[in-house]
Each structure stands twice: as structure tokens, then as C-alpha cells.
Structure 1
């Protein structure tokens, strides 16, 4: 496997791809240590995660440099992702030992319990757009609850994934965490293995659907997949502030965030100043970082060309620049219609497609359309509209007056084509455990 820099286009590394035999062998190795790790006291597992989190903080700069080299993500932002990952490990180290079942009220002479137990062998397939933070969430929750894990980091950020796992493995017993480098074939071999108990995947909807069809009956599947997240801009907000929010949501990390703003519906009363301010925001991002690779750039550009071909107006951007790397400019489209790919599919690039709506209800109706259900944002000064929006939008996360943000520990369930199961927070511990009911009664006395 060759790793090509999205910044200058040069090869920056090569790695051997795991074989299907190595995938099978990794599962067997993990199963051999699963029982011992499950019997390790929860507090002892937590201590190991605490130690790993501390080392992760110490080496955040090293991981960030590698992340930037592989994916083009700005180093300072990549370091924030590493520190977020360390914080997530710490969170699960704290939550793991207090993750508990409950007792049931039965007969006076018996005891009834509901006890959480680790599911067993977890396959974690993690993405490239925030490789450390997302991986730490899945790995931390799985490990602290007593599961063993086989981790395949994205083939677009394999060196970052290897270094992350090397740090974690220094604080874990052998084979509790195993790393495999490879492409989709390696992931598919792991998913199909009959000894896998959980598959946790963050990535594309197409891959998520394939996983759901491939796992053995009875295995748990956790999916956080694609999104086509809408932003609804009401008539009573400041258009320049709304444009700044829209630009942040659409252009941060070049639009390569799971909950990026993918489509925008703005009230006609403020549409003109909003569009002008949004173009100004795009101009400020003339030095935007590259996309992860040229394949992703072609995907983004195809969406933009489709919109223009169907009558959309290109206000700024929308052209592939000359030179090396995988750069693409911040792009604003107006006059977008529901038949355009930018309004129905996940673009995952620095594109802000805008539709002008006549009123809030029309915008809400359009925002609710489509097969995805990851997240949505509403900018409004109306408490009534805010209440209506969060109750009616069929998504896992609704953000009012902020495209990003939220309190620690939040956990949402994506809907529709965006996936299934909790992906974060204390609830993720429940996903990685299964519940056993135990009834303990008294024996009959021996007749002498």
C-alpha cells in the first residue's frame, strides 16, 4: 500500500497489506486472550486506559504531524483531534468501572440480577477524517468493558492508526488490541469471520450496508455512516452571523466532518445578504487545506458540476486548481434544487449549496427530506420554530444556533441510511456489552 500526500502528491510511505489468512489468525489470537481480559477487574482495565491517554497527550504533536501528512488536515486541528481522543479515553476509563447492571425484586429467598458482560471479539473499522478521536471512542469503550479488539484503521490514514495503536498496546496485555493494515478486502474478511461478536464501523453508507449484510447471525453491528446534514436559516437571524455559521459547518476540515453542513435552506427575507456574506466567508478561505486525496476531489467536483448542469449558479469556487496535491476551493452554489446530487447525497467537501425558501415551514419540510438521518442545524430566534424543528427533524442530533458543539457525554442514534446504535457517550458501553439475567435461589434442604 502506498500512502500519497494530498499536499504535494509525493509518496510518503508504503505498508504491507494484511492477507485474509492474517485476518483469520488475528481473530483467533484475540479469542485466545478474550477470557482473561474479560476477567480482569474493571478498575485495572481503566488504569491501563488512563496510562494510554497520558502518553497520547505527550505524543499529540507527533500524531498530528503524521495525520497532516496522510490526510492534509491542518496540524493544529489534527492535534486538537488527538487531544479529544485522549479525553475520550479518560472518559471511558472513568465510566468503565461504574458501568453496572441492576438487581430485580423477586422472592425474599432468592436474588435476581441483570449483569452486563463483554460481548467478546470486536472489529473496529475507523475513518480517516478524524482518525484518532473517533478510534479512541470505539477502542476505549470496547476495551474498558472487557472486549478484545481488532482495529483496521482507514487505508487513507494507516500510519496514524498504527502509531495510535502502538501507543495503546504499550499499556495493554498482548493481543488484547490487534491492528491490521489493509483495504476494503481486509475489512470484509474480518467482518465475515464467524468468530466476530461485534462490528463497529464509522464510514460510508455503502460500506455500512455491506457490513450489515455480511456479519454472522447474532453478531452486533454498530454503524455511523454518511449524512446529508441540512442547515435551516430563519428570517429573524443576523445574515452575516448565519453565513459565518454556514461557512464553519461547510468548510471546516474541507467539509470532511461527519456532521458537516451539506445543504442550506435560507429564508427569502435574508437570502441576498446571507449569500453575499457566505461568498465573503469563502473568500477568506483561499488557503484551505487539501482534500484527503484526488479520488475524493473528483467526487466533490462531480457533485458541483452536476449542480451547475442542472441550473445551479456557481457564486465562487468550483474549479480544480492547477498544481500538485488534492486541493479544492471553498465553493458556494445558489439556486439549488432537490434533484441535484449536492442536495441528496453526501458530498464531503468544501461546498455550500443554497436553496432559498419562502418560509420556515418550507425549509423545514425540505430539511426533512432524503434517506439520511445523522444531524441537522437550525438558526432561529424563534423559540416556537426551534421547538418545532427539534421535534420534527428525523435525525440523531439537532443543533439550535450552533453548527458544532455540545456537552461532553452526549450520545445520539443515527437514523435511516446514517447508521444504527449509539456511537458515543455512556450508552456506547451498553452497546459493547450484553446482559445476562441471573436468578439465585436456595437449595432444598437435605433430608437426613
Structure 2
């Protein structure tokens, strides 16, 4: 049964209570899914342009309340309010993007016989469950919710239990622009998410979050037949070639490892640097780390996990150049940390740490660094810093990940829609292709009916020919 205890949220900055919310009951969960099932056909029958207009209106409402949502997000997760507001506005832009793309999402015609029409038409899948994370909750939720709603699905959204106030506020604001029941937000812990994922009346389970949860969702949807759309994090590598400026490379590494306190799905998690530039790079990276003011992690429990990765690496022979200690005082702060003398078998190199930690392994050649980067069970993203076009070409072809970035740890054109691989998930999570994930395709063959009189005449001719053949034999 679902755990009915309230979610108590405390500030990761100083530990003060932010608030508490009751979790959804079994009745709430079943009722939300059935309501979504009931209202979805009418929403699907709404003209696509009207669905797009509703999403555009929702984007405007969210934009008008961006400061309010950002303040709540900062209180719950510790993300600086300016950065939190950027995340909210990124969500607004995503809603606006899907408001434009949804109405022009199309099928295609097929070449068949001259007297028939054949075509493939996209249809909404039905009820979508969106399970969204705490590290960038508004932007991620807007992507999944926006693409699902604009294509005619109904959505039941459960935000992370680490930022329920943010998720509830965002959900209420966006839902104002849609018919009742088309978008519902449920609050709860992992048990609520598991119950939603296992519901027989759900057609899609879209999840952004941890790998263990993603595996459980795959098991659940294998029984129900629902589609699983998953982004389960990564263990993104950074490979640094011998021909780049080590100070520039250090700035890139720091940006990738320390932004949002390392709590991004595409954060740099492991670094392989060529020995020719290793000493200068490490010196510069240590200096860069000093410029990053310590930020809180989402909560004390997560800080324990991050510090455990660091402590275990040190016990196995890694050296701390800077950071690596739990600071005194309230909150869940953790400093920018640089580790050297790391080896690929250390847990800090094998698993997603999801904190402001830059573990560095020195390699003898670019080929060795690339080979080590390839060895990983995840497949989200990776970055290569090199002045060699040949090495860049070699890298993007060899790395088994959804996104390869050359000479920039972050960046990319709007509308990119990479597919995570292996334990990082399945399906497109962004861009126009997400509309394809939220729809299914029906093939239609439209032939001509034969008029009754013509059919009778054809029958008589066939019968007469048959009698003639019989009499001749």
C-alpha cells in the first residue's frame, strides 16, 4: 500500500522547514488515472491548433509566475534563485516550442493502387504518466508534459518527492489552460510513482531520474504493455587531448563538473587527460575549483552519497587536490572537489556521483583515454577536447552515447533530441522527436466501395461465365 505520511521538506541551505504535503492515496492514484482515461478522448478530438493555443497560453501563465516558482525551487533544492529562474524560463520556452510543433506534427501518405488512398496517421497514445526529477524539475516536466498534451494525451504528473511544492505549483499553473482532468499532479514518494507505473490503464510511463527506478519501470511496463520512455542519468566522460590549452581545458572541466553543484544529468563525471598536459591541467583545475562557491546539494542524504564516493576513492589511492570534506554548519553544502590519481575501477569513475566532484585519470595517449571512456554501462553523453579533426571524428564514432560534444562541455542547437543508450534509458526525450514518442501510428487503406447495381452485374457475368465453362466440359 502507498505510504500515507506527509512529505516534509527542509531547506538544504540551513535546514529550516519549507513545508509538508500529504502523499496521494491508493484512491487518489486510481482516481487520477481513471479521470485521465475518461477525458482523454475528448481532448484528442480537439483540433490540433486549439491544443497548441492552450499550451501557448500555459506558457504565458508560467512565465508570469516565473519568480514565484523559482523562489519555491530555491527553497526546496538549494538551487540559486537566478539559476532556478533560468530553469523555469527554459520550461516556458519548451512549452512554446511544442505549442508550435504540435499542430504541424504529421503522418505521411503511401503509394498504393490508383483507386485507393493509403496513409499513416499519428494518434495520441492515451494516458501518460510523467515522473520528473528534482535537479531541473520545471524544464524537464515542461518537455514531457508539453509534448504529451499537445499531441492529445492526458497526463498524470508526479514530481520528485524532493521538490513537491515546486511540482505542485507548476502543475496547477499549467493546468489552468486545459480542460479539467487533462493534466493532474499527484504528490508522493517512490511508492506512488511505482503504483502509477504499474497501473493497467496507463499507456506511457515517461521517467527522468535514477537508473534503479528506470529498471523497475521497465519491469512494470513489461507486464502492462505500456510504453517506457526513460532518461536514467549518465556517467559522462571528458577526454582531453595533448594538443589543447590546459587552462582552457580546466575551465571546461570545471564548468562541466561544478555547474549546479554537479547535479545535472550531463555533468562531467570522469576525466581522462593526456599525460602531456596533465600537470598543467590539474594545477589549473585546482585553481578553477577555488573560484566556485560551495553550493548545497539537494539534501543531507544525497551529500552522504557524494562524500562516500570521494572517501572510497581516497581509501583506494586517489589524492584530493582541493575539497573533499564535509563542511561544518547547517545545510547540505559540499565544496568543489578535484581528485587525482584515480583509476577507472574506482566507484567514483564507474558510477554517477551527481555532485561537484571532478575525478581525474591520467592516460598515456588519446586512444587510451577514448578506450576508457567507452567502457561504461551508461550511454547518455560525453565530451572530447581536441584540436585534431581526425581525433574528433574518431571520438564521435566510437563513443556509444546519445550525445557527443566536441570542444564544449555544454551547448547545442535548439531542437536536439538525442537517444540515451544502455542503462541511461530509451527513446527520445526532447525535440520534435518527442512528439513521435508520445504518439502511435495507424496505417489506413481507404478503398472504393462498389455500387450495388455494379456488384450485381459483375456477379451475373461471373455466374454466366462459370455455367459456360461447365457445359463445355
Normalising by structure 2, report the TM-score.
0.94
Find the partner of 2:105 among 91, 94, 99: 99
Aligned-partner SS, 2:24: coil
RMSD of aligned Cα (Å): 0.7
Match 1:259 to one of 260, 266, 269: 266
Following superposition, the deviation at residue 59 of structure 1 comes to 1.3
Q: 3-state SS of the aligned residue for 2:333?
A: coil
- What is the match of residue 71 of structure 2? 65
* Cα distance in 1 for residues equivalent to 2:168 and 2:143: 16
| Inter-partner Cα distance in structure 1 for 2:299 and 2:80 | 14
Q: Which residue of the other structure, out of 32, 35, 43, is the alignment partner of 1:37?
A: 43
Aligned to 2:127: 121
Distance 1:81 1:401 in 2: 24
Q: Which residue pairs with 1:245 in the alignment?
A: 252
- Of 46, 50, 59, which residue of structure 1 is paired with 2:56? 50
**Structure 1 residues 137-152: aligned runs within 5 Å:** 137-152=143-158
Are 2:427 and 1:418 equivalent residues in the alignment?
A: no
2:205 touches 2:228 (CA, 8 Å); kept in 1? Answer: yes
Supply the distance in 1 between the matched residues of 2:264 and 2:276 (Cα, whole angstroms). 30
Partners of 1:427 and 1:217 in 2: CA distance: 24
Is 1:282 aligned with 2:289?
yes
User: 1:223 and 1:409 mapped to 2: Cα distance?
Assistant: 18
Partner of 1:232: 239
The CA distance in 1 between the partners of 2:372 and 2:305, in whole Å, is 24
Aligned to 1:103, the other structure's residue is in SS state: strand
Q: Which runs of 5+ in 1 are unaligned?
A: none
Which 4+ residue blocks in structure 1 deviate beyond 4 angstroms?
A: none
1:406 to 405, 412, 416: 412
Alpha-carbon offset, residue 445 of structure 1: 1.6
Which residue is 1:171 aligned to? 177
Q: What is the alpha-carbon distance in structure 2 between the residues aligned to residue 154 and residue 248 of structure 1?
A: 26
Match of 1:380 in 2: 386
CA–CA distance in structure 2, aligned partners of residues 85 and 217 of structure 1? 31
Is there any run of 5+ residues in structure 2 with no aligned partner, and where?
1-6, 457-473
Aligned to 1:159: 165
1:2 aligns with 2:8: yes
Residue 227 (structure 2) aligned to one of 220, 231, 251: 220
**DSSP 3-state at the match of 1:172:** coil
1:346 aligns with 2:352: yes
Q: 2:210 aligned with 1:204, yes or no? A: yes
2:189 is aligned with 1:183? yes
Alignment-derived partner of residue 194 in structure 1: 200
- How far did residue 11 of structure 1 move? 1.2
Partner Cα separation in structure 1 for residue 92 and residue 346 of structure 2: 40
Partner Cα separation in structure 2 for residue 49 and residue 32 of structure 1: 20
Q: CA–CA distance in 1 between the matches of 2:144 and 2:224?
A: 22
Q: Distance in 1 between matches of 2:144 and 2:275?
A: 42
C-alpha distance in 2, partners of 1:113/1:383? Answer: 44
C-alpha distance in structure 1 between counterparts of 2:100 and 2:447, whole Å: 34
CA deviation after TM superposition for structure 1 residue 135, in Å? 0.4
Q: What is the CA-CA distance between 1:219 and the residue it aligns to? A: 1.0
TM-score by length of 1: 0.99
Matched with 1:27 is 33
Separation of aligned partners in 1, 2:269 and 2:118: 50
Candidates 313, 326, 329, aligned match of 2:335? 329
**What whole-Å deviation, never above 9, does each CA across 1:300-354 have from its counterpart, x for those lacking one?**
0000011000000111100001110000010000010122111000000000000
Q: Distance in 2 between matches of 1:108 and 1:299?
A: 65
Tell me the CA shift for residue 218 of structure 1. Answer: 2.4
